[in-house]
Structure 1
Amino acid sequence: MKHDEADKATTIPNAPRRLSQAGQSQYTIILAWQISDNVRPDQIAGHTFKVTAVATGQPQFVPATQVKPDGRGWYQHEIGVSGGSRPVYFNVQVRAQASNGEYGPFCPVVVCNTSS
């Protein structure tokens, strides 16, 4: 994706997400996002995620993957994160890698659901 194409992408609000349940330290976050209309799914080779704990700025490694859109143009993917016994807030962002190897910018994603 070219940078000027990425600027046309719709920005989805991304408020930090609070995850906590007594005794849990691992969480699954179900993500959903869309990519701008001017980028076709066949132009996307993969997706990279950036997950950061808000309080500490501590990043969490999430492996890159290739995600296919559903019939409505939404991409969905589950990621695993580590938390603690106290509430943890995460910012989650995703960026697409084009088939030609170029990366778009990191963009916020919507967190649809959380589970332990």
Structure 2
Amino acid sequence: MTTAGDLREKVELQALVTVSDGAGGSTQSWETVVTAPAAIKVLKAGEEVMQGRLATEQTLVVTLRWQSALADALTTWKLKNSRTGNLYGIKSITPDVRRAWVDILCQTDVL
């Protein structure tokens, strides 16, 4: 069971938005939609060789208090740990039955 004292990290949920560049075109950028304190639990960590380099891969669960802005959250969004700057791809978003807490399953982005 998560308690308020477990929320030691600060995370941002970011959505990809398209912004007009004023010259008839557009650009895409990540915009922070939700900022909240969170509890982070690493489920699995490992290393993988990609493009001749060793890359670290993590799967984790981020738990935060439910807020109405999370109702629109999508798995196409990114989660950023504000303290470390690490970015994670969101795999699933699961609120509890009473909508008091929400668990977000994330994985490190492989670029």
For the pair shown, which has the larger CA radius of gyration, 1 or 2? 2
Q: Which has the higher contact order (CA 8 A, sep 6+)?
A: 1
**What is the TM-score with the length of structure 2 in the denominator?**
0.32
Instruction: Give the structure with the larger strand fraction.
Output: 2
**What is the TM-score with the length of structure 1 in the denominator?**
0.32
